[in-house]
Amino acid sequence: MHPMVNDDGTAKASTGPDTDSAGAAGGGKARTKSRGRPRSFDRETALEKALLAFWEHGYEATSVSDLTRVMDIGAPSLYAAFGDKRSLFEEVVRMYGTRHGSFTDRALAEEPTARAAVERALCEAATAYTEPGHPHGCLVVHAATNCSTPEVEKSLRDRRNANIAAIESRIRADVAAGVLPPATDAAALARHAGAMIQGMSQQARDGASREELEAVAEIALSVWPRTGTHTG
Amino acid sequence: MHPMVNDDGTAKASTGPDTDSAGAAGGGKARTKSRGRPRSFDRETALEKALLAFWEHGYEATSVSDLTRVMDIGAPSLYAAFGDKRSLFEEVVRMYGTRHGSFTDRALAEEPTARAAVERALCEAATAYTEPGHPHGCLVVHAATNCSTPEVEKSLRDRRNANIAAIESRIRADVAAGVLPPATDAAALARHAGAMIQGMSQQARDGASREELEAVAEIALSVWPRTGTHTG
DNA sequence: TCATTTCTGTAGCGACCACTAGAAAAAAGA
DNA sequence: TCTTTTTTCTAGTGGTCGCTACAGAAATGA
C-alpha cells in the first residue's frame, strides 16, 4: 500500500515483493525475474514521458489522465508502478535533477573558482533552458509555483534555495582562499547569481533564444572581478 | 448573457441595463440609482479580496469556491458582477497593474535616464515584492505560470515582455541622445534588467527579505555605466 | 398596492479530478 | 495442468471544478 524505495533507488509502490525481498541474507540483486505477469511498458521511458509533461505544464496542470495518455499506460499501471501522483512527480524531479538540472552543481565542483563556476553555470543555463526537444526553462523553477499542494511547492523551493546556498558556500571558499576580496558579500553575490539563473529561466519560458540569454549572462557576469582562470 | 465593458471601464456581465443605458445623449453618469435590488457588497472591496487570493495562489489554484469565500459573496453574485472566472482575473490583473505593478513604467517615465530608471525600478521592486500586507513577489510573474488556460498564460507573458520592450525603448532613446555609448546592446541590457526583476520576484517568493533584494539590485546595477543623474 | 427590475441563496448541473475495486490476462513455480 | 503472483483493463468511486436555473428578497416606478 505505502510507497517504498527499493534497491535501485527508485520509489515504487508495489514493484518487488512485499516479502523479505531479494538478498535479505543473499548477495543483493539476485532476483532478475519477477514472478507474475511482466510489465508491458518500459518504466524509465514512461518516466521520461511524465517528465516532459510535468516540465511543460507543471505539477497541478498535469492531470493523471494527461499522464496516462502521454505515458501510454492505464491508470492502475501508473499507480502500481509509481505510487500516487506526488510520488511520480518526486521521481520525475529526481530524474530532472540528474539529467538536466545539475549543471550548477557540476560547475561548482569542477571549476577552479567561484567566478568560473558561475560563468559556466550561466552559460550552460542559456543552452539548457533553450534546448530543443524539451520544454524551455527550468522545471524546478516553474513546475510548482502556485501549487495548491504546499509540500510539493516547498520541495522545489528547497531545491532552489539549496542551489543558492551551494553557490554562496563556493564563494566563501574563494574568499577564505584569498581568490576574492575579504569584503565580498558572498550571500548577495550568490543570490544575484541565483536570481539571474531564475530570471533567465523565466525569459526562456517567455521566448528568449539561447543567444539572447547568453548576452544576458555575459552582462550579468560583468559584476564579478575577473580573477578566475576560466577565460570565456 | 455576454460580458460587456461599461462606462467606468470595468468588465461586467449584467450590471447596468442592456437597454440604451445611461447618457446615450445625456451627460454621462447621470444614472446614480439602478432600479432593482441593490448589491449587498462593495464591488471594489470584493475585487481587492480576489486580487489577494489570485496573487497568493495563482489563477488555476484559486477556485471559484475559494473566491466566493474570501470575497464573502455567493457564486451567482460573483458571476453577475464580474462575469466568469477569467474576466474576474483579468480585472484583478488590471487592478494589480495600477496599484502594485506600475513602478517600472513610472520610473521609465519620470527618471531622466534609462540607468536611473532601472536603478529606481530595481530598488522599488525590492520594496514592493516584500511589502507586508500582501503576498510577496509579482502577480504578473507568478499567477499564471503552468496554467492550463493558454490565453491567461499568454496575457501575462505579453505584459512581462511589454515591460522589457519598454525598458529597451528607453535605453535606445538614451543611446540616440548620446547618454549611453552607441555600441550599447539595448535589447540585452533591457532583458538583463527584466530577468533581474523577475529573478528578484522569485527570490521574494522564496523568502528573500527586502534588504537581501536590495543587495542583489545593487550588484545588478553595477553592470551599468555610471552616467545617470540619479544618485542612489 | 402592484408590477418591474435586479440581486441573493439554494441547490444542483455535467465534467473532470485523483484514485481504486474487481476480474481477466500473462507470466513463473509446482 | 494447476496454483500463485503480478499486471492489465473496465468501470467505476466520492469529491471538486466552473457555472447556472430557479425562486424568493429587496429595491424602484406606476
More confident residue, B232 or B25: B232
Same domain, B118 and B205: yes
Which residues in A lie closer than 8 A to residue B219 (C-beta atoms)? Answer: 185, 188-189, 192, 223
CATH of the domain at A50: 1.10.10.60
Which amino acid would we find at residue B74?
G
How far in angstroms lies nucleotide C29's C1' from the CA of residue A31? 14
pLDDT digit string, tens, across residues A27-77: 333 335 778 999 999 999 999 999 999 999 999 999 999 999 999 999 999
Identify whether B14 is part of a domain. Answer: no
Mean pLDDT of all residues belonging to chain A:
87
Nucleotides of chain C in contact with protein CB (under 7 A) are 4-12, 16-22, 25-29
Q: How confident is the model at residue A227 (pLDDT cuts 50, 70, 90)?
A: low
pLDDT digit string, tens, across residues A186-219: 999 999 999 999 999 999 999 999 999 999 999 9
Identify whether A207 is part of a domain. Answer: yes
| Nearest CB neighbour to A185, from listed B192, B215, B223 | B215
| Of A99, A118, A137, the domain-final residue | A99
Contact flag, residue B14 CB and nucleic strand C, below 7 A:
yes
Return the C-alpha cell found at A149. 499542494
Pairing of the two strands B11-12 and A4-5: unpaired
Which of A210, A55, A211 is CA-nearest to residue A129?
A210
Same domain, A138 and A183: yes
CATH of the domain at B177: 1.10.357.10
Contact flag, residue A69 CB and nucleic strand C, below 7 A:
no
| Nearest CB neighbour to B141, from listed A58, A191, A202 | A202
Same domain, B109 and B95: no
Same domain, B208 and B106: yes
| CB B124 within 8 Å of CB B110 | no
Same domain, A133 and A183: yes
| Amino acid B149: pLDDT | 95
State how many domains chain B has.
Answer: 2
The beta strand positions in chain B, using DSSP E, are 4-5, 11-12
**Residue A75 structural domain:** 41-99
Cell numbers 475585487 correspond to what residue? B47
Same domain, B168 and B203: yes
The mean-pLDDT minimum among A11-15, A112-116, B168-172, B208-212 falls in A11-15
| pLDDT for residue B129 is more than 50 | yes
pLDDT digit string, tens, across residues B149-194: 999 999 999 999 999 999 999 999 999 999 999 999 999 999 999 9
| Chain A interface disruption, residue of B118, B146, B160, most A CBs within 10 A | B146
| pLDDT for residue A171 is more than 60 | yes
Same domain, A122 and A148: yes
| Of A99, A117, A136, the domain-final residue | A99
Judged on CB neighbours under 10 Å (0-12, 13-18, 19+), A104 is buried
pLDDT digit string, tens, across residues B32-68: 577 899 999 999 999 999 999 999 999 999 999 999 9
Cell numbers 532476483 correspond to what residue? A31
Cα B117 to chain centroid, rounded: 18
Nucleotides of chain D in contact with protein CB (under 7 A) are 4-12, 16-22, 24-29
What does the pLDDT average to over B73-98? 98
More confident residue, A217 or B20: A217
What does the pLDDT average to over B111-119? 98
Same domain, B95 and B115: no
CA distance B48 to B44: 6
Same domain, A171 and A85: no
| Amino acid A75: pLDDT | 98
Q: How confident is the model at residue B77 (pLDDT cuts 50, 70, 90)?
A: very high
| Of A99, A127, A143, the domain-final residue | A99
Same domain, A50 and A139: no
Same domain, B167 and B64: no
Identify whether B26 is part of a domain. Answer: no
